[in-house]
A and B are shown apart, each in its own frame.
Chain A
Amino acid sequence: MSQADLTMVGHAPGLTTGIPPYSMTAKKMAIWLFIIADTATFAGCLVAYGFIRNGTLNWPRPFHSITNVALMTFILLTSSLTMLLAVRAAKAGDKGTAFLWTMVTAVGGLIFALLHIREWLALIDEGMTMFHNPWGTGLFGASFFSITGLHLLHVTGGVIALLAVGARYKGGRYNADDLEVTGLYWHFVDLVWMFVVPFVYLLNLTH
């Protein structure tokens, strides 16, 4: 056995044979690394929000109705399903259907963003700003707008990405793998919303 063989003993096969240990494309690996990093970003924001909320006695509970947030949740979850349909069609080589479902997903994201902005405007109209509100500590506005704003920024970026990648996929410049990578990002945006809804909205309902 040569010295080179000896040094390889005990290593995972992927590290020595040249086969990538995770067996995924560079694009997919990159989006997973982004998702892991972004998970830490959102988790940091939510933990900081929880810290402040837990340590503040006069925390406001300004939400009277769940209708808007329920509708937003339904639309975002459904857009994840339509994204799956787009990726599935793309993998099957059905370009037209894949493009159609990608655009449906983008429209879902756009409706979500518009509903979100409408809700923001309603809260601003009631007197809520980043540092003041009529119900209690001013910290509420700062944490609410920063967390939901960060999520809204992700949704907006996602809609732009869906439109751009969808158009390039239709034009033949991108393939099914590119749609899948965009889909992973979109599902992540949906996943984050699953934590934002209970902690930022539902725990602050007026009873």
Chain B
Amino acid sequence: MSTASEQKNGTMGRDLVVYLCLLALAAIQFVIAYENIDGTQMFVRMLIVALAEAGLALLFFMHLWSEKRMFMWSAGIFTVFVLLAMQYGWTDSFRLVNGAPWAK
């Protein structure tokens, strides 16, 4: 019979599976680093794998999955908004290298 804590936070077996998945995803990042692809593709692939790792760690290691859905949504929306708002300066970063479009 499972305990109340196990029902809330999952079993040890699940934790072990998540741990092995995280190790596998980390290994995939190392494999990507040695692929013969351009920098942008490499960055995008590594970002996708890192987001998958972060999602697994947040949901199962940090037990966000078993918290109230209202907490998950409110914390998630705030955080994602802040993270997205930080991305607005990238065009200027490309301008530094290419001098375009504003320098033309």
The residues of A with any CB-CB pair to B shorter than 8 Å are 12, 14, 21-24, 32, 36, 39-40, 43-44, 47, 50-52, 54-57, 66, 70, 73-74, 77-78, 80-81, 84-85, 88, 91-92, 184, 187-188, 190-191, 194-195, 197-199, 202-203, 205, 207
| Complex: A56 Cα to B39 Cα, angstroms | 14
Residue contact A57 to B46, C-beta cutoff 8 Å: no
* Inter-chain contact B71/A22, CB cutoff 8 Å: yes
Query: Looking at A36, A50, A92, A191, which has the most chain B CB atoms within 10 Å of its CB?
Result: A191
Shortest CB distance A16–B (Å): 14
Beta-carbon contacts under 8 Å, B13-42 to A: 15-16, 19, 22-23, 26, 29-30, 32-34, 39, 42
Question: Are B33's CB and A81's CB within 8 A?
Answer: no
Decide if B65 is an interface residue (CB 8 Å cutoff): no
Let me know if A197 and B26 touch, CB within 8 A: yes
Task: Known A32-B75, A197-B26; judge A187-B57 contact (CB<8 A).
Answer: yes
CB–CB B71/A55 < 8 A = no
Q: Is A202 a contact partner of B58 (Cβ separation < 8 A)?
A: no
CA distance A52 to B97 in the complex (A): 10
CB of B1 closer than 8 Å to a CB of A = no
Please report the C-alpha to C-alpha distance between residue A184 and residue B61 in the assembled complex, in whole angstroms. 8
Q: Told that A24-B67, A56-B97, A190-B57 touch, could you supply 7 new A-B pairs with CB distance under 8 A?
A: A21-B68, A21-B71, A24-B71, A36-B75, A54-B90, A55-B96, A70-B30
Given contacts A24-B67, A66-B33, contact A194 B90 (CB under 8 A): no
Interface class of chain A by DSSP: helix
Residue pairs across A and B with Cβ atoms less than 8 A apart, 24 shown, are A12-B70, A22-B71, A24-B71, A32-B75, A40-B83, A43-B83, A43-B86, A54-B97, A55-B92, A56-B96, A70-B30, A77-B23, A84-B15, A85-B12, A88-B9, A88-B12, A88-B15, A92-B3, A187-B57, A188-B62, A190-B61, A195-B54, A197-B26, A197-B29
Q: How far is the CB of B92 from chain A (nearest CB, A)?
A: 8
Report whether B54 and A191 are in contact in the complex, using a CB–CB cutoff of 8 Å. yes
Is B78's CB within 8 Å of the partner chain A? yes
Contact A77 B19 (CB under 8 A): yes
